Amino acid sequence: MRNIIIEALEAVPVEEQQVELVERKGVGHPDSICDAIMEEVSIALCKAYTETFGRIMHHNIDKGLLVAGITEPKIGGGKVIEPMKLIFGDRAIYEFRGKRVPVDEIAIETAKSWIRKNLRFVDPDKHVLYQ
């Protein structure tokens, strides 16, 4: 027999509150960086799939993980001791009917391009490893 417990919610429902507090992660937050990069990778893959296969192939490129590196921060500069690591999650189709799409290369080059445009002090070739 299952134990099911029901409790009355004492709080005022959100729709009846005058103010709702929400969390917003900034553009430099690792989650925001990963989401933006994975979105760009998906768009680049869709273009490559359409050019190569004539249609968009199934892919799930919406999970990423940015692992912190080690830095020596300093006003006006600083240095990267150990690079960050960007891990691409999920899956994508590499080959279909004998034709191939360079998924890894597309993902890495797209990530580097996004980093160059959006993180002005990060060198995507020196400060980030890709997996």
**CATH number for 77:** 3.30.300.10
In the structure, what pLDDT confidence band is assigned to residue 119 with cuts at 50, 70 and 90? very high
Q: Where are the beta strands (DSSP E) in the chain?
A: 59-60, 64-67, 70-74, 77-82, 84-88, 91-92, 95-96, 99-100, 128-130
pLDDT of residue 54 exceeding 80, the answer is yes
Q: Is 84 inside any structural domain?
A: yes
DSSP code for 16: G
The predicted structure's pLDDT at residue 45:
98
Q: Is 12 inside any structural domain?
A: no
Distance (Å, rounded) from C-alpha 6 to C-alpha 65?
A: 37
Give 80-112 pLDDT, tens digit per residue.
Answer: 999 999 999 989 999 999 999 999 999 999 999
Q: Which residue has the tokens 């507090």?
A: 21
CB atoms within 10 A of CB 29: 12
Q: Is 90 inside any structural domain?
A: yes
The predicted structure's pLDDT at residue 11:
86
Residue 118, domain extent: 26-130
The pTM score is: 0.80
Q: Is 99 inside any structural domain?
A: yes
- Number of domains forming the structure of the chain: 1
Distance (Å, rounded) from C-alpha 107 to C-alpha 69?
A: 20
